[in-house]
Amino acid sequence: MTYPVSLTAIGMYVPERILSNDDLSTMVETDDEWIIQRTGIRNRRIAADNEFTSDLCLSAVRDMQRRYGISIEDTELVIVCTHTPDYPFPSVSCRLQDALGLKHAGAIDLNATCAGFVYGLHVAAGLVAAGIHRKVLVVAGDTMSKIIDYSDRTTCILFGDGAGAALVERGTQMDFLAFDLGSDGSGGLDVYRAGLSEQMDGVELKGKGKVVQNGREVYRFAVQTVTEGMSKIIKKANLSLEEIDWFIPHSANMRMIESICDKSGFPRSRTLTSMAEYGNTSAASIAISLVLALDAGQIKQGNVLLLYGFGGGLVYGSLLLRWSV
Determine the Cα angle at 253 with ends 247 and 254, to 5°: 60
Residue 90: cis peptide before it, omega within 30 degrees of 0: yes
The number of helix segments (H) and strand segments (E) in the chain equals 10, 15
93 — alpha (psi -120 to 50), left (phi > 0) or beta?
Answer: alpha
Tell me whether residue 114 is one of the annotated catalytic residues: yes
Cα distance between residue 119 and residue 316, in whole Å? 9
In the residue annotation, 250 being an active-site residue is answered as yes
Question: Cβ distance 226 to 288 under 8 Å?
Answer: no
Residue type for position 152: D
How far apart CA 220 and CA 210 sit, in angstroms, is 22
Give the Cβ contact number of residue 203 at 10 Å.
10
Q: Are the CB atoms for 305 and 321 separated by under 8 Å?
A: yes
> Per 3-state DSSP, what percentage of the chain is helix, strand, and coil (rounded to 5)?
40, 25, 35
The answer to whether residues 171 and 107 touch, using CB atoms and an 8 Å cutoff, is no
Any bridge partners for residue 322, and if so which?
Answer: 304
**DSSP, res 205:** P
Q: Active site residue: 114, 122, 133, 253, which one? A: 114
Cα gap 73→50, rounded to integer Å: 28
- Rounded CA gap, 261 and 264, in Å? 5
**Number of residues assigned to the chain:** 325
Q: Sheet containing 135-143: which strands, arranged edge to edge?
A: 5-13, 161-170, 135-143, 77-81, 106-110
Q: Catalytic residue positions?
A: 114, 250, 280
